[in-house]
Each structure stands twice: as structure tokens, then as C-alpha cells.
Structure 1
Amino acid sequence: MKLTKVAAMGATVALSALALAACSSKNTTANNDNTLRLMLTGDVQSLDNSNVANLAQWNVLEQTMEGLYRADKKGNPAPAMATKVVKPSNNGKTYVFHLRKNAKWANGDPVTAQDFVNSWRRSAGPTAKSGYNYIFTGIKNAEQVSTGKMPTSALGVKALDRHTLRVDLEYAMPYFSRMMVLPAFFPQNTRMVKQTGSKYGTNSKNMVANGPFQVKGWTGSNDSWKLVRNKYYYDKKDIHLKQMNMRVVKDANTAHQLFQQKQLDDAQITGTTAQGLQKDENLRHVYRAGTYYLRLNLANNKAFQNAKLRQALFLVLNKDSLAKKVLSDGSQAASTYVAPRLAVDPTTGKDFAKETAPKETYNVKKAQQLWQEGLKELGQKKVKLTLVSDDQTVTKNVGQFVQSQVESKLAGASVEVHAVPSKEVSDRLANGNFDMQSALWLADFADPVSDFDVLTKNNPQNYGKYANDNYNQQLVDAKGVNGTNPKKYWANMRAAQEQLNQDMPVVPLYTMTESHLVNPKVKGVLWHSVGETDYTRASFTK
């Protein structure tokens, strides 16, 4: 996900974690007032999806808004504001959506095609502050619109009539339907945006929802509020909750205590708290389509310009040991940049990450041989490497693990770990002042291209300066000549991952895993590996 990441989970086990393991986390009483009590790990800064994009905001929007589609229990697009999942015409470049005529905003206004047009124009335009206008790339004229070279009216989205929306693409995007569940593509109530202007989404009074619930009592700065039912929602029969109560809880130990006190029905825990509760009967692991990895600097003046050194680094790190002994929070070792559970290759029926995994993921002897060959090619006998990470405990521990593995197993290698505030990490990346950097990539939508685009030659987030002609061409072909041919498209995807396995510009470490304490009486929650958790159809068993 191309925005501020959630805090990673896990740390070395502390005595306090062992004490927590003995505590009961039972929360088994049915909720008599039919209210689901939830938490967010970060602050909601705005409900305007054109001006802010962070995980806390998207979590709230997931429960209160709907786009053309929503994700079903398998993570596939299902009709929401659109009456059906449509097939494109014009060689995959034109989509025509028919909206539900009974879809209404919580103020009673009908949801119209123009609500989508205006929202997308605001979000794709150069004045959008969300940092997410890039996601519209591929829609006709989106890049020119986002840079101000064309007016927002030139964006390839048009209301043909009150309930018909047409979208024109520049090239076939077989993943376009999967993108439509993203909050970035949600509509905005045209009348509300016009009335509130710059205040739109700054508090719940300056916002109106079109989904099952609407926000009440959020001032723009408070840390607790309610989501109440939208009486105009078209699918009321499938909404069982009376309301949801939301609060911001940033401390994992506090979240655990609130769960024990039955003030939370879903408590996300991290770090030593999560480690100490891995055997709790109410623990649920949520495996997200995100990979923690080392971004390597391939610039000409850096050691990792040499491919053999990069391959050696991948093979020398015991990722299983990192996941099980250092993190010990349910995380799993990763071997590919694309995370497991992101997508199934429809041409093979296999999980994409698993089918493209390297045959060798840990081989110290081979790593040592490659390391010495790489040093010889560089004309050096030793190298001093800088590993940059943020200053969270977990990333410090990962940095120390990498440092220990490299220095103890690779002759002539030394590693300095610089754990610094996030702002300094960003500055160092922008200036190329690093050899390795601890990073996380969480997929935007359920297709490998969501990950692969970041490593293309001209992507602004390709801080490691990776440039491989074959890799870039695979993505060009996937979005061009092969965009309407699933067999060739997925062959491009496999070839792109295999090129990364060979070049190793990023070294996968472990997968993103969330630890949740969940009231066992809660049913019907959709835990998505891609996108936010959907609580809208939840209910309590008696």
C-alpha cells in the first residue's frame, strides 16, 4: 500500500509477555445491545478520500461507504453500487456500469453516476492531497490530469445518464474490477461536497455515507465515535448490527485489557503482548497480502550493484528463524516479493507466490561462495553496509538479526544499523543514503501488478534504482498486447517474479500477519488478505 504503514508486529520475548500468557482473555458474553465494539490503531485524520489516505480512514470508510463493487468472502468483486460485475468492451478498454436505482445516501439523496465522476476527478486531480492520485493511472488521461497538464474534466469517466457510468481506459487492465473495491474509487455526495467545500470530510457532520452505516459523533480530533445504520441502505436485510462503536487504541496492552473487560470485540495486539498470547483461545491470525523485505540500493557507487552480493544476502538469512524465534507472533518466512494469499493464478489454479517461489531460500555455503565471487568482481576484500530502518522495536530487532547473520556468516562484511525516525528514513531513501532499508509493501488490490509496478524503472518509489529491461517489458506487455489474454498475462506475471528472484533487488523477509483477539460470539466478519476487514454483515450468536 503506497501510504503510511501500520506498525509491524513482534519483538523479542520479554518477561511481561510470559506473564500475559497466563492471563485469561475470555470475552464470550453475547452483546445484548447488538453493538460491535471495534478499535483502530491510528488516528482518523479525515473522511475525505481525496485528501487523506491512511489505514485508519480506510477502515472507517469500509464500514460506511460503497463503491461500484465490494469484496465478497473470497475477496472477489461483488456488486455494490453497480448492479452487476460487468465485462469490458472495446478490447478491454471500456466499462459501462449501471447503478442501482434504489441506492441512496444516508441523507436520502440518490447515488448517481455524477457522484462517481466528481469524486474521481477530485481524487485524480493535481490538488488532491491523499497521495493516491497515481492509482487512477490507466484510466484515460489520468496521468496528464494528475500533473495538471489536462483539466480534470478530461479524465476518462463520464455519466451517460443519472444511473449509467462509463469508464475509458488507455489500455486493457484485467485487474480493473479488483481495483473498484478500493476506497480511493468511492463516490462522494455531490451536494454535500458543494455545500461544505474545504470542510468536506473534516467531521461527521460534513460527511454523508452511502454504505450500511454512517459516522456519528466524530469531531475530527476525538478518539471515539459511533457508526449507526443508514436507514436508506438498499440491502438492510443483511445488516444485523444496531451500531458499531469505534475507538482509537494505540497501545497493545491497553487493547488486551479492553478486550478482557468486554469493551472490545476485536482487539488488535502487537509486539510482546501478541507474543505472550499466541496460544490464547480467542486469538485469530489475519494474514495480509504484505511482505516485509530489505530494499537494496543498486546505485553504481553501492556494493549491491553486484548481483552476486544480493543473491548471497538472500541465501544467508534464515528467514524461518527470524519469523519463529525473533518475531514469534505468527509471522511466516517470505521468499517472494509478492505475498502469499494475494492472488491465485487462474491459469494454473495455484497461489501465485507459492508457484513462483525460488527453489533455494537458505543455503549458507552457496551464499558464502557467491559473496566472495561478488567481492572479487567489485575488486574489494570487504564492504561496510548501512541498514536503515525506522525506530520501532520490531524493526530494530529485525535489523539486529540481519546484522548478526551477515557479519557472522559472510567474511569481509560489516553492517551498521541506523534506526531513525520515519522522516529521516524518507530523507535517506530520497537521497540514496543507504545500502539496505527495512520496508513493507501491502498490496493495493488482488493482483501481482499492484506490487510489481513499484519496481519499474521510472516509478518514483523505486528508491533502490532497480532497472531490468526484461522485467519492465513483462509489465508493458501485460498492460498492452496481453491485457485481454489471461494465459499470456499471467505468463508475464510469472516471468516478472522470476526475474526478481534472479536479480534480487529486494530481499523478502516475512509476511504481514495481524494478531487479533476476537469475541467468539461474533460471526460474519470478512477478513480480507487484501483491503480492510469488512464488519458490515457481522452478527452475534446467542
Structure 2
Amino acid sequence: MKRIKAIITGIFISLTAVLLVACGKSTSENSKQVLNLSTTGPLDTIDISKSTGYGQTGNVFESFYRLGKDGKVTPGLAKSGQVSQDGKTWTFTLRDAKWSNGDKITAQDFVYSWRRTIDPKTASPYAYLFYDVKNAQAINEGKMSADKLGIKTEGDNKVVITLDRPISYFKVLMTYPLFGPQSEKVVQKYGKKYGTNSKYMVYSGPFKVKDWNGTSDKWSFVKNNQYWDKKVVKLQKINYQVVKNTNTGYQLFQQGKLDLTPLSSEQVKNLHNKPEFKQYSYSYVAYLDYNFNDSNEVNRKALNNKNIRLALSLAIDRKTLTKKVFGDGSNVPTGFVASDLATNPKTGKDFAAEQKVDNTVDYNEKLAKEYWKKGLQEIGEKNLNFTILASNEMANNDALTQYLQSQYTKVLPG
């Protein structure tokens, strides 16, 4: 087997952030409370219904709750929230808050936003996160109208949500900008332009987007003086620029144009003794994403074969990959749930340990060969030629793809 045909975003790895931070440097910009940051790719949209991620835009949009110190859920646009005894009805009372244009944020803004997102015409990539709300899945599948969604208003300041079942993590889910409000007036005003440019949007969070035109490599977040809790917002501005590789990022950091920059595994080895070097853990799990609909019939059969997928998984030495190939402090989880992300409320045990399934993400060459042989027999093939695809936005992806190609060639015959 010479090449692997799978779209790779990673391979079950719990990552650690390693970066240089400009601590203690006094510049005219940081004295004005301006932060200069990099990002690996441009914003795709600022329409929360259509966004594919909220890593940055969580600073410009807010929902019922927000995450506070140590990731604790704290009140956001809702000053209070109550849940029924059966856990299926939530009632949120909104605080007196305004959009960045000065308009009042109302309960109807939440109802409109949720209905817009779940509408199949919107094609929201995260619509499935609403599926525990009453009728959400049927609406998203086009079987029911959006006005049947389990969300309603009680006056201007109360939102009532009905779930199909209790959700233990519902409060955490409600910190996600996806579940925040949208102004129907603004959506209708801008039509197809809505969310395609920073000026075709209103903002509910501590910052507003500025100088983003839909394809910009540079943009800024500026303080939103209409934000209900503006007194706690210390930064006046955050400047973002797209930096696609860590070498460029390091150069910009040395030139004082970035206040922090992520590092590659090679840079970690060379810079870990620097006083600016900082390391912290965060829950991010990368994984193999197989192309089950490959246009090549042989590859499609192979990737839909459980034994071949198990062989591909068991052929990877994740300990070597994280400790030696990456060498950036990343940990090896036991499945999709990252370590130290959440614990079982009954036992206190880490969910990462409880989710473990033996002989799935372990390194076992012998078992990998057995599954590989069995899988090839089942699909009637002797050899497979796959291709590895990886995003260029992750610093370690070159090392990852090289390791995978080498490991699969070594472990899996044919």
C-alpha cells in the first residue's frame, strides 16, 4: 500500500497549545489595550447560522450564557434561567441588553434566530445541535414548518424552550454563539449580503468586527460600547491577521507585530527554554475522516469495510506520534473525548477513561495485519492505493502525513 485515501484532520490526539507570549513588553499599542493575534485561516462567514466555527466570533456574539473563569458557565444575555422538574422546559429571562446599533435585544430575536438556523433552506452545518429541541430534527429534514420548533416568547424578555429529553450539559451548550439571537430587521435589511461583510451585521457580544470584507486576511475586533457588560471589557481592539505557517508567525513575533504565536514541534525543541515560551492544555481532538463516498469503487468498498478501518487505526503508534513526531506536549486520548474535559458526575471518573474500547485506538501491529488481511479478502482485493489529504492550517500536518504514509507502508502489506 503506497498511499492512503482519507481526508485527514488528525488522528485521535488531544493537543497542548505551545506558543510564545510577549509578556511584559511595553509598546504604544498594548498601552492602549490593543492585542495583535494571528489565525491560520480567514473567517468564512460571520453569519452564526452558517458558520463552521466560533473560535473568534464568540467574542462578538453572545447567547443566554457565556463561559467565565476556568470555563465556568456564567450569565450572558439571560440574567436568569430556570428548568422544570422533568428537565425538559427551560425559561430564560433576558437582561436589558442592546445590539451594537442600539436596538433592544428581545426574546423574539432568539426565536427568529433558532428558526432561521434550523430551516433546511439555511443549510446550517450545525443544525443537528438543535435536535434535542422539540420538533427540531423534523423541521431540519423538511417534514415540519419552522414555527413548530420548541421555542417561544413570553413577552419581550422571556424565552421558553421545550426539549424532547433532559440534557445534562444544556447550560454549557447555551454558551455557544450558534444559540444566540439574530435581528430579523437586520437580516431582512441586508438580504443576501447579511454576514458577508463586517458592516452587514449587528453584534451582541463585547466586540464588533471591523474591516472584514468576506475575504480579508486582516481584520479587527473593536470594543462594543453598547454591550451590556462593557465595563469589564479591558481591551479596546484585537487585530487579527492570517499567518499560514509558524515560521512566518515567529518572525512577526520577533518584529513585535504579534503578541503571541503558536509553534511547530521543531520550534518547541529550539525555543522551550525562552522566557516567552508558554504551554497550556486545551481540549481538542483530531481524527481520521474517511471518504466513504469515494468516486473510486475499490476505495469506497475498502473504507466502508470495518476490518480495514480497524487495521488503519491499530497500525498507528499514537504514543510515538505525539511524543516524538509532534513533541509538543500533546496527550494520547482513548477515543473521541479528550482527557480532563469532563467527568462522570456519579463516579468522578474522567469520561476519557470511561469511553475506552479495547483494540480500537491501541497500537497493535499483529492485530492490524489480521484485520487488514481479513478486510482485503472481504472486498476481494490484494492491494490498495489511497491518498492522504491534510489541511495546511495545522503546523504539524506535514509531519503527521509523512508519519502515516511511513507507518502504513511498514505495517500493512499490499
Q: TM-score, normalised by structure 1?
A: 0.63
Aligned pairs for 1:258-277 within 5 A:
258-270=252-264, 272-273=266-267, 276-277=270-271
Matched, 1:176 2:170: yes
Provide the rounded CA distance (Å) in 2 between the counterparts of 1:8 and 1:296: 11
**Which of the residues 202, 211, 215 maps onto 1:208?**
202
Q: Deviations over 1:375-417 (max 9, x none)?
A: 479868995345442155754543443444455456xx23xxx
**Residue of structure 2 equivalent to 1:143:** 137
Alignment of 1:26-37 (within 5 A): 28-30=24-26, 31-37=30-36
1:132-531 aligned within 5 A: 132-270=126-264, 272-273=266-267, 276-294=270-288, 302=302, 305=305, 314-357=313-356, 364=364, 367-368=365-366, 371-372=369-370, 375=373, 384-392=383-391, 394-395=396-397, 397-409=399-411, 413-414=413-414
Match of 1:92 among 52, 77, 87: 87
Looking at structure 2, the residues matched to 217 and 73 of structure 1 have their Cα atoms a distance apart, in angstroms, of: 30
Map 1:23-102; keep pairs closer than 5 Å. 28-30=24-26, 31-51=30-50, 53-55=51-53, 58-84=54-80, 86-89=81-84, 91-100=86-95, 102=96
Amino acid at match of 1:172: P
Structure 1 residue 89 displacement after superposition: 1.5
Cα offset, 1:330, TM superposition: 2.9
Q: Report the alpha carbon displacement of residue 289 of structure 1 after superposing the two structures with TM.
A: 2.7
Compared with structure 1, are the counterparts of its residues 363 and 140 closer, same or farther at alpha carbon in structure 2 (3 Å cutoff)? Answer: closer
Aligned pair in 2 of structure 1 residues 291, 162: CA closer, same or farther (>3 Å)? Answer: same
Number of residues of Structure 1 aligned to a counterpart in Structure 2: 386
The amino acid that maps onto 2:346 is T
Q: For 2:199, what is the secondary structure of its paired residue? A: helix
- CA shift, 1:185, in A, is 1.0
> In the alignment, which residue of structure 2 is the partner of 1:478?
none
Which structure has more relative contact order (CA 8 Å, sep 6+)? It is 2
Distance between the aligned counterparts of 1:200 and 1:33, measured in 2? 32
Aligned amino acid, residue 88 of structure 2: K
For 2:62 and 2:115, the matched residues in 1 are separated by: 17
Q: Which moved more, 1:292-301 or 1:256-265?
A: 292-301
Q: Which amino acid aligns with 1:401?
A: Y
Displacement of 1:162 after TM fit? 0.3
* 8 Å CA contact 1:113, 1:162 repeated in 2: yes
Q: 1: CA distance between counterparts of 2:25 and 2:180?
A: 36
* SS of the residue 2:383 aligns to: strand
Shift of 1:93: 1.4
Q: Return the letter of the residue paired with 2:135.
A: N
Paired with 2:108 and 2:385, the residues of 1 have a C-alpha distance of 51
Alpha carbons 2:82, 2:92 under 8 Å: kept? no
RMSD between aligned alpha carbons?
3.4
> Displacement of 1:286 after TM fit?
4.6
Q: Distance in 2 between matches of 1:38 and 1:378?
A: 48
Superposition deviation, residue 69 in structure 1: 0.7
Q: Secondary structure at the match of 1:292?
A: strand
Residue-by-residue CA offset, 1:110-133 (whole Å, 9 max, x unaligned): 111111111111111111143222
Rounded to whole Å, the distance in 1 between the matches of 2:349 and 2:235 is 37
* Separation (CA, whole Å) in 1 of partners of 2:229 and 2:186: 23
Q: Separation in 1 of the partners of 2:345 and 2:257?
A: 43
Equivalent residues of 1:303, 1:383 under 8 A apart: no
Counterparts of 1:137 and 1:110, CA distance in 2: 29
CA shift at 1:79, angstroms? 0.8
Where does residue 517 of structure 1 map in the other structure? none
Distance (Å, rounded) in 1 between the aligned partners of 2:247 and 2:270: 11
Per-residue Cα deviation, 1:320-373 (whole angstroms, up to 9, x for no partner)? 111122222332233323221332222222321034446787565xx4267448
- The whole-number CA distance in structure 2 between the counterparts of 1:188 and 1:6 is 34
Counterparts of 1:368 and 1:190 in 2: how far apart (Å)? 59
For the residues of structure 2 that align with 1:297 and 1:204, how far apart are their CA atoms?
35
The code of the aligned residue for 1:29 comes to: K
What SS does the aligned partner of 2:113 have?
helix
Unaligned runs of 5+ in 1: 10-23, 415-542
Question: Is 1:312–1:368's contact at 8 Å kept on the other side of the alignment?
Answer: no
Structure 2 counterpart of 1:81, one-letter code: L
The percentage of aligned residue pairs carrying the same residue is: 35
CA distances 1:22-70 after superposition (whole Å, capped 9, x unpaired):
xx9866313211111222221123211123x134xx2332111210011
Asked if structure 2 preserves the Cα contact closer than 8 Å seen for 1:214 and 1:227, the reply is yes
Closer, same or farther in 2 for the Cα pair 1:87/1:391, shift >3 Å? same
Residues 125-182 of structure 1, C-alpha deviations (whole Å, 9 max, x = no match): 1111432222211111112221222222111111111000011112222222221111
Q: Is the 8 A contact 2:97 2:104 kept in 1?
A: yes
1:536 counterpart residue number:
none
Distance 1:6 1:376 in 2: 24
Amino acid at match of 2:316: L
Q: Distance in 1 between matches of 2:235 and 2:216?
A: 23
What's the counterpart of residue 296 of structure 2? none
1:96 is matched by which residue type in structure 2? T
Name the structure 2 match of 1:513.
none
For residues 266 and 108 of structure 2, the distance between their equivalents in structure 1, rounded to whole angstroms, comes to: 49
Runs (5+) with no aligned partner, structure 2: 1-6, 12-19, 293-298
CA–CA separation in structure 1 for the residues paired with 2:112 and 2:8 = 30
Amino acid at match of 1:72: G
Partner SS, residue 170 of structure 1 = coil
